[in-house]
Structure 1
Amino acid sequence: MTTKPPPRILSIAGSDSGGGAGIQADIKTITMLGGYAMTAITAITAQNSRGVQAIAPLGDDMVVEQIDSCLTDFGADAIKIGMLQNAQIVAGVAEGLATLPEAKGLPIVLDPVMVATSGARLLEEDAIATMRDKLFPMATILTPNMPELEILSGSKLTDTDKTIAAAVKIASAHGCHVLAKGGHTDDDRVIDILVGPQGFLMQFDDAKIDTPHTHGTGCTLSAAIATLIGHGQHIQHAVRLARQFTRSAIAYAPGFGDRNGPLGHQAVRKLEG
């Protein structure tokens, strides 16, 4: 009897020593959703629930070597990109993906990680323009949170209409989808908005889960979207199921750490189709 192989998902992101976000969260998410996780580590961080204590970026050549090593041997069905840290890594990743034949046509989920919840800067200022110019046009979907979307759009997003307009402007400019995440607002509900190059597609509205343990939520969501797309799910359905997985992981958080602790990926129950 033959079984269908799992989708191969390459995560290009930073390492989180506390295991809550970054590469570690991606591996847990991809595995729990039935994918095969591969990694290209961009930076090593010392961090826990209290914040980021230190960051040591890798050289862009080493990051690209990891990407090349994975894709030329194992191949991939989708790529998730998270923390890139500096302009050299951003440019290196973009060039590597553009020149590797094995990367051609692969769906790319780009989480434009800029600032940690603790306030630590995870993307240098001069890297933002490089990311916008070189990686956004390659992305299938971008997953910015509200502070990141404000930085990218250059405007204060005070209501849903402004958020939709900002997301659509970015999506149409780069020919991609944008999932504008609303979890960073002070509202009692989380409103996420999905748009495509042609405009608004759908809105998700859920009650906010009352917990401080949300470290790695964005990493988990973007890795889940990439894995589900790798399974062959349509982008809208992939986003819906990925949100369901992420919310379950928040609900099952183990309570580790005394501040913003990790999610409970391993405790998530079977997703509804």
Structure 2
Amino acid sequence: MINGTPQVVTIAGSDSGGGAGIQADLKTFQARKAFGMSIIVALTAQNTYGVQDSMAIPSSFIEEQFDSLAADFAIGAAKTGMLADAERVETVVKKLKQADFGPLVVDPVMVAKGGHHLLQSDAVKTINQELLPLAAIVTPNLPEAEVIIGQRIVTDQEMIEAAKTLQAFGTQNVVVKGGHSQNKDAADFVLLASGESFWMSAPRVETANTHGTGDTFSACIAAELAKGTELKEAIIIGKKFIQAAISQPIFVGHGHGPTNHWAQMTDTIVIKKRS
């Protein structure tokens, strides 16, 4: 049967070290049994030490990748990652409006683990005004959310308020990830379009192998959406998947190693309604 298999696309940057970006997304899609494809927006020279260099793909070629996939595949969901700069964001927004790629997961990638900027500062406004309104869900970590809303986020209540602000930008659903917080557990706040909200928490794992966690989490959600999984369940599966990928380590490289994309999911997370 033509196009009978769930299909999902990542629109992001390539990580030559294989731990994040397009490579992490494709590994996650495969692990979640969705056929993955890619639209490459930027290239990086990267390893577990960090990003040594990056180069944006010409916008005309990004458009050709969109057109090529749209002409052949039945894509059920899409996700964005590294988008480099305002020009590339505008190109992606234009093509997403033309293509029928299903619900969009926006992972607003800005800075690599080693500190290399993966998004130019002038692109943040473009993401806020043009990309977020297209998103079914946005999944920033705390530093990314702070840049987007222009405010510091420290407390649980500030995470809740940040989610509301992000939703006001036009995104239907929001996950503000708490991995960068000082809390004992890694707790993420989820705000859905329906108004329902809850916390997802899991034991914090002491490890340096966290390269690509944001990419992997958002890719898992996208893969589940492509399979027809209801959004709330897709988010919870994403949390379980990334917790397993962090807590069942592999050992690659000398720096911030990658997560384990073939880890076995467990029920080690706690779902708690907003108090």
TM-score by length of 1: 0.93
Q: What is the CA distance between 1:258 and its match in structure 2?
A: 1.7
Question: Quick one: distance in 2 between partners of 1:131 and 1:258?
Answer: 34
Pick which of 4-13 and 138-147 moved more: 4-13
Tell me, what secondary structure is at the counterpart of 1:73? Answer: coil
Question: Quick one: distance in 1 between partners of 2:164 and 2:241?
Answer: 25
Match of 2:128 in 1: 132
Question: Quick one: distance in 2 between partners of 1:270 and 1:157?
Answer: 30
Question: Quick one: distance in 2 between partners of 1:242 and 1:48?
Answer: 25
> Are 2:254 and 1:255 equivalent residues in the alignment?
no
**Structure 1: gaps (5+ residues):** none
Question: Quick one: distance in 2 between partners of 1:249 and 1:28?
Answer: 12
Match of 1:29 in 2: 28
Q: What is the CA distance between 1:3 and its match in structure 2?
A: 11
Contact kept? 1:193, 1:204, Cα under 8 Å: yes
Which residue, out of 198, 209, 214, partners 1:202? 198
Match of 1:14 in 2: 13
Match of 1:161 in 2: 157
Pick which of 254-263 and 217-226 moved more: 254-263
Q: How does 1:50-61 map to 2 (within 5 A)?
A: 50-61=49-60
Question: Counterpart of 1:269 in structure 2: which amino acid?
Answer: Q
Question: Quick one: distance in 1 between partners of 2:90 and 2:120?
Answer: 13
Cα deviation per residue 1:105-156 (whole Å; 9 max; x = unaligned)? x100000001112111000011111111111110000000000111111111
Match of 1:44 in 2: 43
Question: Counterpart of 1:240 in structure 2: which amino acid?
Answer: I
Which residue, out of 235, 238, 249, partners 2:234? 238
TM-score by length of 2: 0.93
Equivalent pairs counted in the alignment come to 267
Q: What is the CA distance between 1:175 and its match in structure 2?
A: 4.1
> Structure 1 vs Structure 2: percent identity of aligned residues?
37
Question: Counterpart of 1:172 in structure 2: which amino acid?
Answer: A
Match of 1:269 in 2: 264
Contact kept? 1:9, 1:79, Cα under 8 Å: yes
Match of 1:99 in 2: 98
Contact kept? 1:43, 1:55, Cα under 8 Å: yes
**Structure 2: gaps (5+ residues):** 268-275
Tell me, what secondary structure is at the counterpart of 1:113? Answer: coil
Cα deviation per residue 1:225-247 (whole Å; 9 max; x = unaligned)? 00011111111110101111111
Match of 2:273 in 1: none
